[in-house]
Amino acid sequence: MKKEAVEKNNNSVGIVETKYFTFAEPPKELLLDGGQRLGPITLGYETYGELNRDKSNAILVCHALSGNAHAAGFHAGEEDAGWWDSMIGPGKAFDTTKYFVICSNVIGGCKGSTGPASINPKTNKPYALDFPIITVSDMVDAQKYLIDHLGIDKLLCVVGGSVGGMQVLQWVASYAPRVRCAMPIATALKHSPQQIAFDEVGRQAVMADLDWREGDYYGKSQPEKGLAVARMIGHITYMSDQSMEEKFSRRLKDKNYSFKFKTDFEVEGYLHYRGDNFVKRFDANSYLYITKAMDYFDLSGDKLIPAGKQIDTRFLVIAFQSDWLYPAYQSQEIVRRLKTRHVDATYCEIKSTYGHDAFLLEVDEETHLIKHFLDKTFRGYDVRTYGA
C-alpha cells in the first residue's frame, strides 16, 4: 500500500526504523538443530505501539518466506508500507493503541538478520554456503533471545501465516508457558510431498543458474534468472485458479499472438514482473536456506504437545477455502491434534478466492476474527497499565 493511501485513513503507525540486536557472542554461540554453532547473531526487528507496565500486551508477528521485520508503517524516504500494514496500527486487528507489536527478520534471512550474505567473522567474507543449515526451531530460538532482551516474560500472542505460522506452532512446541495465545494462519504441522516438491523445483532453478557459482556469487552477479524463475513458480502456488481467471483470464498484452516465444499473455507478463522485482530485494541463498527449513519442519503426532504435557495456550487457527498450497485440511489437522490434547482451539475457514495470498488480502474477515479473539484473551488486564 502506498503512503498517500494510508495517510488518508489516518491509521498508520507512521515512520518507523529497523533496530538491531546482537547475541550469541563466542564462546556462547547458539547451538543449532543440525549440531553446528552460530554466533554472533544479529536480528533486525521493528516494534509498534508501547509495552505496558506489566509487559502483558506484547504480540510477536512472524513473517512468511519473502517477508522481513518491516511489517507496518514506513521507512523514511520510502513510499511502500510494511508487508502487513493493513493489519497493524491504531484501530486495526493488532491495535497499536492497545498492543506492543514486534516483528523480527528470521535468521537465514537477508533483511537485517544474520544469514548467508552476512560476514563470517572467521573469514571476513560472506558465509555463502558455509552458513549452517537452519530449522524453524532455530529461528524461534533466536526470536526467544530477542524477547528476553526486551524484558518480556510472556507473549500475549504469537501470530503468522505460511512459514510464519510454522514459527507460531514452534513457539508453542518449544516455549508454550511463554505464549498466552497462538494464531497459526494458512500453515501446516509438516510439509506434504507436494509442498516439498515445489520448494525443490525452486531451489533447483536457483542452483541451475550459472551465476549461482555454488553459492559464492557475492561481489559478483546474483543468479537473477534462477531466482526469478523460483519466484514465478512460487507465485503461481500463492494464487488460485479462480483468482487467476478473474485477474487475467486469457487476455493478451497485444491484440494478436506474436507467433514467437515472447510474452503474449498478461499472466506471463505478471509473473515476469513478480520475478524481476523479487531479485531486487531478496538473496538467492536465503531463499535456499529458508525453503529447506520449511521442508524440515515437522510437528506432527505428539511433537507439538508431547504426551503427558498440558498447555494453557489458546489457539485461533485460520485457513482459506481456495488455498491449495496450504489446503484447509492441514489447518484442520492442527485443530484435531490440539483438541485431542484438550487445548482451547478455535478454527475458522474463510471463504476467499485469493488462494494462499488470502492471509495478506482478506483484511476485513481476519480483522473481525482476530480483534475478538485477542480482546477475549487480553480481557482482565487493567487498561491503566498501558503506557510507560
**Is 118 known to be catalytic?**
no
| C-alpha–C-alpha distance, residues 169 and 161, integer Å | 11
**Is 283 known to be catalytic?**
no
| C-alpha–C-alpha distance, residues 81 and 268, integer Å | 26
- 237 alpha carbon, distance to own chain's centre: 16
Please give the C-alpha separations between residue 85 and each of 62, 102, 111, 141, in angstroms, as whole numbers.
14, 13, 18, 26
DSSP element (H, E) containing 230: helix 224-238
The number of beta carbons lying within 10 Å of the beta carbon of residue 121 is 11
| C-alpha–C-alpha distance, residues 309 and 340, integer Å | 12
Catalytic pick from 56, 104, 118, 162?
A: 162
- 125 alpha carbon, distance to own chain's centre: 28
Catalytic pick from 141, 209, 283, 323?
A: 323
**The three-state (H, E, C) secondary structure of 250-262, written as one string:** CCECCCCCCCCCC
CB 81 within 8 A of CB 64: no
Catalytic pick from 70, 191, 235, 356?
A: 356
* Exposed e or buried b per residue across 356-376, where buried means at least 16 C-beta atoms within 10 angstroms of its C-beta: bbbbbebeebbbebbbebbee
CB 330 within 8 A of CB 190: no
- Cβ burial, residue 264 (10 Å; 0-12/13-18/19+): middle
**Is 113 known to be catalytic?**
no
- Cβ burial, residue 133 (10 Å; 0-12/13-18/19+): middle
At 151, give phi and psi (nearest 5°). Answer: 75, 25
| C-alpha–C-alpha distance, residues 154 and 381, integer Å | 14
User: Scanning the structure block, which residue is given the C-alpha cell 505460511?
Assistant: 162
CB 244 within 8 A of CB 353: no
Q: Which residues are designated catalytic?
A: 162, 323, 356
